Amino acid sequence: MPKPHRTRTARFKALLTALVLAFVVTGASIYSGVAGADRFDEQIDDLQDQNSSYQSRVDELTAEASSYQDLIDKLEQQINQLQQAIVANQRASAELEREIKAKEAEIEHQRDVLGQSIKAMYLEGQISTVEILAASRDLSDFVNKQVARNAVQNKIKTLVDEIQQLKIELEQKQRELQARIKEQKNQQAELNATQDEQAQLLAYTVDQKATYNSKINSNKNRIAELYRQQALENIRRFGGSGGQLGGGGYPWGYAKCYWTGNVDGWCPNYDWAVNGSVYNWQNNGYGYRNCTDWVAWRVKTTGGYVPSGLGNAKNWDDRAPSYGFTVSSTPREGAAAVSNYGYYGHLMYVEAVNGDGTITVSDYNRAGTGKYDVNVISPSGLNFVYF
């Protein structure tokens, strides 16, 4: 009888070995999924942290650029005001120049008149006093002529002196005006230099802002790619072939992407919208065509209720107890199946619990395309929220 005993022992060892291998493989698979999730989560978190830092810098640069632009505008206003003052002073200077030339011409004219008078007096001086007296009607006429000549000479001399003094005053005003114009031009040059400096700072700031915005956009593209990889991983883990557009009787299955306006195809940030809003308030504010909104709607169709504060898919099993809902690792028809894998996690609605221990689930946006899908999967590694 020892042989049968050895046979039973061998069979037991083989069974034990198979169980150990199954445990190791399952554990490795679970670990691989968790490790993969951590890898995606860490990368996305790092990129979003970078973008947050970049955006803060962009906001600072925007404020700096606005400050530079305000100063440039004020300097431009001051420069324009100075230019207007310079033009006005140049016109005044030109007018003074004309007045000075006119006074110079008047002086020359009066000098000519004075010269003629002096010449006449000189010629008369060649005539003897006796001849002058003889030519005069009487002594009084002689005296009057002498007085008149002297008065004309004095008047002309006084007028020339007055004109000369006025010319001197005009020339002084002209010098002062020219000095003012020179000072204003110097101020204008300083303002222009300051404005050029501010313009260079503005250009540098705008360039830096563009650089950071480029980094932000690059990171957004990388995040979108990580989300896409997560969606593909969801397909690998939960099955499915990409889903059916508008399937499952879901009323908003053809909502358009907020960013592209397309019904089908990749939609950044999973933002599908109806009437300009990406939140479906008929289902308490979850995102159209997202897994959360599908489950909220599906629960609602069976008479259940999903509150608005459960957040992203991976948060549902954490927050549900505070709303009075039970969370369990045991599947139940009508429950929300929660996968904590990935940055957002994923939700599915349990349509049925099958006799072989598998579950039939329906969902939206499994592949990141906002489509309906249904599959039979293992409940292993999932949490279930009972509504």
The pLDDT tens digits for 276-287 are 999 999 999 999
- Give the pLDDT score at 241: 56
What is the Cα–Cα distance from 306 to 92, expressed in whole angstroms?
83
Pick the residue with more confidence: 289 or 69? 289
- Token readout for 32 is 């691989």
What is the Cα–Cα distance from 2 to 332, expressed in whole angstroms?
49
- 344 in Cβ contact with 313 (< 8 Å): yes
Statement: residue 225 has pLDDT above 80: no
- What does CATH list as the number for 242-387? 3.90.1720.10
Spell out the SS3 assignment of 212-242: HHHHHHHHHHHHHHHHHHHHHHHHHHHCCCC
What is the Cα–Cα distance from 372 to 288, expressed in whole angstroms?
12
> What one-letter code names the amino acid at 231?
A
- 152 in Cβ contact with 117 (< 8 Å): yes
What is the Cα–Cα distance from 349 to 67, expressed in whole angstroms?
54
Pick the residue with more confidence: 92 or 313? 313
3-state secondary structure of 244: strand
- Token readout for 351 is 């349509």
**Of 160-164, 201-205, 325-329, where does mean pLDDT reach its minimum?**
160-164
What is the Cα–Cα distance from 70 to 223, expressed in whole angstroms?
37
Statement: residue 257 has pLDDT above 90: yes
195: enclosing H helix or E strand? helix 139-238
Write the CB contacts of 71 (distance below 8 Å, at least 6 apart in sequence).
198
Placement of tokens 């999967």 in the chain: 377
Write out the E strands in the chain.
Answer: 256-257, 272-273, 279-280, 286-287, 326-328, 336-339, 346-353, 359-364, 372-377, 383-386
What is the Cα–Cα distance from 232 to 368, expressed in whole angstroms?
8
Average pLDDT of the segment spanning 217-237: 72
- Residue spans per domain, the chain: 68-221, 242-387
Q: Residue 3's pLDDT band (boundaries 50, 70, 90)?
A: very low
3-state secondary structure of 383: strand
3-state secondary structure of 253: coil
Pick the residue with more confidence: 69 or 170? 69
Mean per-residue pLDDT of the chain: 81
Placement of tokens 């709607």 in the chain: 297
- 364 in Cβ contact with 310 (< 8 Å): no
- Token readout for 58 is 């962009």
68-221 against 242-387: fold identical:
no
Q: Residue 20's pLDDT band (boundaries 50, 70, 90)?
A: very low
What is the Cα–Cα distance from 339 to 379, expressed in whole angstroms?
10
For 68-221, give the CATH class. Answer: mainly alpha
- Point out which residues pair with 363 in neighbouring strands: 373
Pick the residue with more confidence: 121 or 329? 329
Phi-psi label, residue 335: left if phi above 0, alpha if psi -120 to 50, beta otherwise: beta
3-state secondary structure of 276: coil
Tell me the C-alpha to C-alpha distance, in Å, between residue 55 and each of 91, 167, 221, 231: 53, 68, 15, 27
pTM to 2 decimal places: 0.50
